Structure 1
Amino acid sequence: MDIYVGSIPFKWKDARLKEIFEVYGEVSSAKIVIDKITRQNKGFAFVQMPNDAEAKLAIESLNGAEIDERKIIVNESIPNNAGSLDKNKKKKPYVKPENKEWKPFRGNNKGRRD
Protein backbone atom coordinates (compact mmCIF):
# COMPACT_ATOMS: atom_id res chain seq x y z
CA MET A 1 0.00 0.00 0.00
CA ASP A 2 1.23 3.49 -0.82
CA ILE A 3 1.20 5.95 2.07
CA TYR A 4 1.38 9.76 1.97
CA VAL A 5 3.30 11.42 4.79
CA GLY A 6 2.93 15.18 5.10
CA SER A 7 4.25 17.98 7.30
CA ILE A 8 7.54 16.19 7.91
CA PRO A 9 10.55 18.04 9.34
CA PHE A 10 12.87 19.45 6.69
CA LYS A 11 15.92 17.83 8.28
CA TRP A 12 14.60 14.28 7.70
CA LYS A 13 16.28 11.93 5.26
CA ASP A 14 14.88 8.76 3.64
CA ALA A 15 16.56 6.58 6.29
CA ARG A 16 14.80 8.39 9.16
CA LEU A 17 11.42 8.02 7.44
CA LYS A 18 11.99 4.31 6.83
CA GLU A 19 13.12 3.82 10.44
CA ILE A 20 9.84 5.29 11.76
CA PHE A 21 7.62 3.10 9.56
CA GLU A 22 9.62 -0.13 10.08
CA VAL A 23 8.29 -0.22 13.63
CA TYR A 24 4.92 -1.24 12.11
CA GLY A 25 6.19 -3.72 9.51
CA GLU A 26 8.20 -4.21 6.34
CA VAL A 27 8.86 -1.09 4.27
CA SER A 28 9.65 -1.66 0.60
CA SER A 29 10.49 2.01 -0.08
CA ALA A 30 10.52 5.38 1.64
CA LYS A 31 11.07 8.47 -0.52
CA ILE A 32 11.08 12.09 0.61
CA VAL A 33 10.18 14.47 -2.20
CA ILE A 34 13.09 16.83 -2.93
CA ASP A 35 12.92 20.22 -4.68
CA LYS A 36 15.01 20.03 -7.86
CA ILE A 37 16.35 23.57 -7.56
CA THR A 38 17.03 24.00 -3.83
CA ARG A 39 17.78 20.31 -3.15
CA GLN A 40 15.79 20.55 0.11
CA ASN A 41 12.92 18.30 1.06
CA LYS A 42 9.46 19.71 0.29
CA GLY A 43 7.93 18.58 3.57
CA PHE A 44 6.16 15.46 2.31
CA ALA A 45 7.04 11.90 1.38
CA PHE A 46 5.71 8.55 0.19
CA VAL A 47 6.17 5.17 1.85
CA GLN A 48 5.36 1.77 0.34
CA MET A 49 4.45 -1.13 2.59
CA PRO A 50 3.66 -4.52 0.98
CA ASN A 51 1.35 -5.69 3.79
CA ASP A 52 -1.93 -3.70 3.82
CA ALA A 53 -2.74 -4.59 7.45
CA GLU A 54 0.63 -3.28 8.63
CA ALA A 55 0.22 -0.16 6.49
CA LYS A 56 -3.22 0.59 7.97
CA LEU A 57 -1.82 0.14 11.48
CA ALA A 58 0.99 2.57 10.66
CA ILE A 59 -1.50 5.12 9.27
CA GLU A 60 -3.73 4.87 12.35
CA SER A 61 -0.80 5.10 14.76
CA LEU A 62 1.23 7.84 13.09
CA ASN A 63 -1.46 10.21 11.74
CA GLY A 64 -1.35 13.29 13.95
CA ALA A 65 1.62 12.00 15.95
CA GLU A 66 4.22 14.56 17.00
CA ILE A 67 7.69 13.45 15.90
CA ASP A 68 10.75 15.72 16.09
CA GLU A 69 8.51 18.62 17.18
CA ARG A 70 6.23 18.35 14.10
CA LYS A 71 2.73 16.90 13.92
CA ILE A 72 2.85 14.65 10.87
CA ILE A 73 -0.05 13.81 8.56
CA VAL A 74 -0.25 10.18 7.45
CA ASN A 75 -2.90 8.69 5.16
CA GLU A 76 -3.32 6.40 2.19
CA SER A 77 -1.83 7.87 -0.98
CA ILE A 78 -4.28 8.75 -3.74
CA PRO A 79 -2.97 8.19 -7.28
CA ASN A 80 -2.28 11.38 -9.21
CA ASN A 81 -4.74 10.53 -11.98
CA ALA A 82 -7.58 9.44 -9.66
CA GLY A 83 -9.70 12.50 -10.44
CA SER A 84 -8.92 12.79 -14.13
CA LEU A 85 -11.21 11.87 -16.99
CA ASP A 86 -11.35 8.34 -18.30
CA LYS A 87 -8.46 8.01 -20.76
CA ASN A 88 -10.36 5.51 -22.92
CA LYS A 89 -13.25 7.88 -23.38
CA LYS A 90 -13.00 9.69 -26.69
CA LYS A 91 -13.44 13.43 -26.88
CA LYS A 92 -16.31 14.81 -28.90
CA PRO A 93 -15.22 16.16 -32.29
CA TYR A 94 -15.39 19.92 -32.85
CA VAL A 95 -18.57 21.02 -34.57
CA LYS A 96 -18.76 24.45 -36.20
CA PRO A 97 -21.64 26.63 -35.03
CA GLU A 98 -24.62 26.80 -37.34
CA ASN A 99 -24.63 30.60 -37.25
CA LYS A 100 -22.97 31.53 -40.56
CA GLU A 101 -22.11 35.04 -39.37
CA TRP A 102 -19.91 33.76 -36.58
CA LYS A 103 -16.25 34.11 -37.42
CA PRO A 104 -13.38 33.26 -35.16
CA PHE A 105 -11.28 36.19 -34.02
CA ARG A 106 -8.33 36.55 -36.31
CA GLY A 107 -7.21 39.91 -35.04
CA ASN A 108 -6.63 42.95 -37.13
CA ASN A 109 -3.56 44.62 -38.47
CA LYS A 110 -3.82 47.64 -36.20
CA GLY A 111 -0.84 48.13 -33.98
CA ARG A 112 1.43 46.09 -36.18
CA ARG A 113 5.00 47.20 -36.51
CA ASP A 114 5.90 47.12 -40.17
Structure 2
Amino acid sequence: MVKIFVGGLRPDVSELDLVMFISLRAQVNTIKVVRDKITKRCKGYAFLEMTSQAEAEKAVALLNGEEYQGQVLNIKISEEVAPPPKIKTNHTYQKKRPRI
Protein backbone atom coordinates (compact mmCIF):
# COMPACT_ATOMS: atom_id res chain seq x y z
CA MET A 1 0.00 0.00 0.00
CA VAL A 2 1.15 3.50 -0.81
CA LYS A 3 -0.10 6.60 1.00
CA ILE A 4 -0.82 9.87 -0.72
CA PHE A 5 -1.36 13.29 0.83
CA VAL A 6 -4.31 15.35 -0.40
CA GLY A 7 -4.25 19.02 0.58
CA GLY A 8 -6.46 21.97 -0.23
CA LEU A 9 -9.71 20.49 1.07
CA ARG A 10 -12.68 22.46 2.32
CA PRO A 11 -13.59 22.27 6.04
CA ASP A 12 -16.91 20.59 5.20
CA VAL A 13 -15.52 17.84 2.95
CA SER A 14 -16.97 14.35 3.41
CA GLU A 15 -14.98 11.14 3.13
CA LEU A 16 -17.52 9.61 0.78
CA ASP A 17 -17.49 12.52 -1.69
CA LEU A 18 -13.71 12.70 -1.71
CA VAL A 19 -13.16 8.97 -2.19
CA MET A 20 -15.75 8.90 -4.98
CA PHE A 21 -14.01 11.80 -6.74
CA ILE A 22 -10.58 10.18 -6.54
CA SER A 23 -11.68 6.60 -7.20
CA LEU A 24 -13.01 7.63 -10.61
CA ARG A 25 -9.36 8.11 -11.59
CA ALA A 26 -7.40 5.68 -9.37
CA GLN A 27 -8.11 2.80 -6.98
CA VAL A 28 -8.35 3.84 -3.33
CA ASN A 29 -8.02 1.36 -0.47
CA THR A 30 -8.60 3.55 2.62
CA ILE A 31 -9.14 7.21 3.43
CA LYS A 32 -8.48 9.35 6.50
CA VAL A 33 -9.66 12.95 6.49
CA VAL A 34 -7.82 14.79 9.26
CA ARG A 35 -10.33 16.62 11.44
CA ASP A 36 -10.25 19.00 14.41
CA LYS A 37 -10.99 17.06 17.60
CA ILE A 38 -13.46 19.63 18.91
CA THR A 39 -15.27 21.00 15.85
CA LYS A 40 -14.96 17.85 13.71
CA ARG A 41 -14.22 20.08 10.69
CA CYS A 42 -11.59 19.05 8.18
CA LYS A 43 -8.19 20.64 8.78
CA GLY A 44 -7.70 20.92 5.01
CA TYR A 45 -5.98 17.65 4.24
CA ALA A 46 -6.40 13.90 4.10
CA PHE A 47 -4.36 10.74 3.60
CA LEU A 48 -5.39 7.99 1.23
CA GLU A 49 -3.93 4.52 0.88
CA MET A 50 -3.77 3.46 -2.73
CA THR A 51 -3.74 -0.16 -3.88
CA SER A 52 -0.31 0.13 -5.56
CA GLN A 53 2.55 2.48 -6.38
CA ALA A 54 1.23 2.74 -9.95
CA GLU A 55 -2.21 3.84 -8.71
CA ALA A 56 -0.63 6.42 -6.40
CA GLU A 57 1.45 7.85 -9.25
CA LYS A 58 -1.63 7.90 -11.49
CA ALA A 59 -3.64 9.79 -8.86
CA VAL A 60 -0.87 12.38 -8.45
CA ALA A 61 -0.49 12.83 -12.22
CA LEU A 62 -4.23 13.18 -12.85
CA LEU A 63 -5.36 15.14 -9.80
CA ASN A 64 -2.55 17.39 -8.58
CA GLY A 65 -3.59 20.97 -9.35
CA GLU A 66 -7.15 19.99 -10.26
CA GLU A 67 -10.16 21.77 -8.77
CA TYR A 68 -12.42 20.00 -6.27
CA GLN A 69 -15.36 21.80 -4.62
CA GLY A 70 -13.89 25.17 -5.58
CA GLN A 71 -10.45 24.39 -4.11
CA VAL A 72 -7.22 23.48 -5.91
CA LEU A 73 -5.92 20.10 -4.78
CA ASN A 74 -2.32 19.51 -3.76
CA ILE A 75 -1.61 15.79 -4.09
CA LYS A 76 1.70 14.04 -3.54
CA ILE A 77 3.00 10.65 -2.52
CA SER A 78 3.50 10.62 1.23
CA GLU A 79 6.98 9.80 2.49
CA GLU A 80 7.12 7.13 5.15
CA VAL A 81 8.42 8.52 8.41
CA ALA A 82 10.04 5.98 10.66
CA PRO A 83 9.00 6.17 14.30
CA PRO A 84 11.72 7.34 16.68
CA PRO A 85 13.75 4.50 18.21
CA LYS A 86 12.73 3.33 21.62
CA ILE A 87 15.31 3.99 24.27
CA LYS A 88 15.94 1.10 26.59
CA THR A 89 17.20 1.83 30.03
CA ASN A 90 18.49 -0.76 32.42
CA HIS A 91 18.90 1.65 35.26
CA THR A 92 17.46 0.80 38.60
CA TYR A 93 17.26 3.62 41.02
CA GLN A 94 17.75 2.89 44.67
CA LYS A 95 17.34 5.22 47.55
CA LYS A 96 20.62 6.07 49.17
CA ARG A 97 20.92 5.50 52.85
CA PRO A 98 21.39 8.60 54.90
CA ARG A 99 24.88 8.97 56.27
CA ILE A 100 25.23 8.91 60.00
TM-score when normalising by structure 1: 0.67
Instruction: Within 5 Å, give how 1:54-93 maps onto structure 2.
Output: 54-81=55-82, 87=85
Counterpart-to-counterpart distance in 1, 2:4 and 2:52: 12
Larger RCO (alpha carbons 8 Å, 6+ apart): 2
1:59: Cα distance to partner?
0.5
* Structure with greater strand share of residues: 2
Aligned residues: 87
Whether the 8 Å CA contact 2:7–2:75 is kept in 1: the answer is: yes
Q: Is the 8 A contact 1:7 1:44 kept in 2?
A: yes
Aligned with 1:38: secondary structure? coil
Structure 1 residue 40 displacement after superposition: 0.9
In the alignment, structure 1 segments of 5+ residues that lack a partner are 91-114
TM-score (norm 2): 0.75
Separation in structure 1 between the aligned mates of residue 51 and residue 11 of structure 2, nearest angstrom? 26
- Structure 2's unaligned 5+ residue stretches are 89-100
Identity %: 30
Contact 2:26 / 2:58 at 8 angstroms: preserved in 1? no
Deviation string, structure 1 residues 27-65 (Cα, Å, up to 9, x no partner): 111111011011111010001111211210111111111
Q: Over aligned residue pairs, what C-alpha RMSD do you find?
A: 2.0
